[in-house]
Amino acid sequence: MPLVDVRVPNIGDFDNVPVVEIQVKTGDEVKTDDPLITLESDKAAMDVPSPETGKVAEILVGIGDKVSEGSAIIRLEVSTGEAKTESKSGNGKGEDAHAEVPPKPARSSPPEHVVPGSDEPAPPEMKDFGSVHASPSVRRIARELGVDLTKITGTGDKGRITKDDVKRHIALSEGGGGGQGIPEIPAQDFAKYGPIETKPMSRLKKLTGPNLHRAWLNVPHVTNADEADITDLEAYRKTLDETAKAKGYRVTLVAFLLKSAVSALKEYPDVNSSLSPSKDALILKRYYNIGVAVDTPDGLVVPVIRDVDRKGILELSQELTSVSARMRERKITPTDITGSTFSISSLGGIGGTTFTPIVNAPEVAILGAVRAKIEPVWNGATFEPRLMLPLCLSYDHRAIDGAQAARFLRKICDALADVRQLVL
CA 315 – CA 58 distance, rounded (Å) = 43
Close Cβ partners of 19 (under 8 Å, ≥ 6 residues apart): 37, 38, 39, 61, 62, 63, 64, 65, 66, 67, 73
How deeply is 100 buried, as exposed, middle or buried, from its count of CB atoms within 10 A (0-12, 13-18, 19+)? middle
Known catalytic residue: 397?
yes
- For residue 49, whether the previous peptide bond is cis, meaning omega lies within 30 degrees of 0, is no
CA 239 – CA 251 distance, rounded (Å) = 9
DSSP 397: T
Q: Which of 98, 133, 213, 397 is catalytic?
A: 397
Q: Is the pTM of this model over 0.75?
A: no
pLDDT given at position 331: 82
CA 284 – CA 129 distance, rounded (Å) = 35
pLDDT given at position 91: 43
Average pLDDT, the chain: 82
* Intervals of the chain under pLDDT 70: 42-45, 80-131, 136, 157-158, 171-182, 423-424
Look at residue 144 and give its three-state secondary structure: helix
pLDDT given at position 23: 86
Is residue 142 within 8 Å of residue 154, measured between CB atoms? no
